[in-house]
């Protein structure tokens, strides 16, 4: 199967809870940062600042989706992420559990500010 060229194609590759969660994350991204454009970067959906810098990415997996930020964004929310499995810049969101919308909105706002005010680029 060919690699997806659009976010629609990427999401279409999932069914059930995976597709539902990816659609929720996409809607949240559009709400939280409407000026960002969607793109496929390294095979995954990404939201890109008008300056061309990646703000964050999402990916779907067998039992969870991940949202990837810069490590500095993820570290800025360590206390609020205590109940989640995290990586260097990622947060795992298990399928079938509520999306932590308020937390993700705050993380996205932090990421936009760190890029616009501090010049933090993608990893």
Q: Are 77 and 109 in contact (CB under 8 A)?
A: no
Q: What is the pLDDT of residue 24?
A: 97
Would you say residue 5 has pLDDT above 90?
A: yes
The pLDDT value recorded for residue 1 is 58
Under 8 Å CB-to-CB from 47, ≥6 apart: which residues? 29, 33, 36, 37, 38, 39, 54, 55, 56, 57
List pLDDT tens digits, range 97-111.
Answer: 999 999 999 999 999
pTM: 0.95
Q: What is the pLDDT of residue 107?
A: 98
Residue 120 has pLDDT above 80, yes or no: yes
Report how far residue 26's alpha carbon sits from residue 119's, in angstroms, rounded to the nearest whole number.
25
């Amino acid at each position: 199967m060919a690699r997806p060229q659009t976010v629609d194609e990427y999401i279409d590759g999932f069914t059930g809870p995976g597709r539902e969660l990816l659609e929720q994350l996409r809607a949240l991204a559009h709400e939280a940062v409407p000026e960002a454009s969607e793109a496929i970067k390294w095979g995954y959906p990404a939201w890109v600042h008008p300056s061309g810098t990646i703000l964050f990415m999402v990916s779907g997996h067998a039992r969870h989706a991940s949202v990837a930020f810069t490590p500095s964004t993820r570290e800025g929310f360590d206390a609020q992420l205590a109940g989640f499995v995290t990586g260097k810049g990622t947060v795992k969101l298990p399928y079938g559990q509520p999306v932590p919308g308020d937390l993700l909105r705050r993380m996205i706002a932090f990421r936009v500010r760190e890029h616009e005010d501090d010049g933090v680029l993608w990893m």
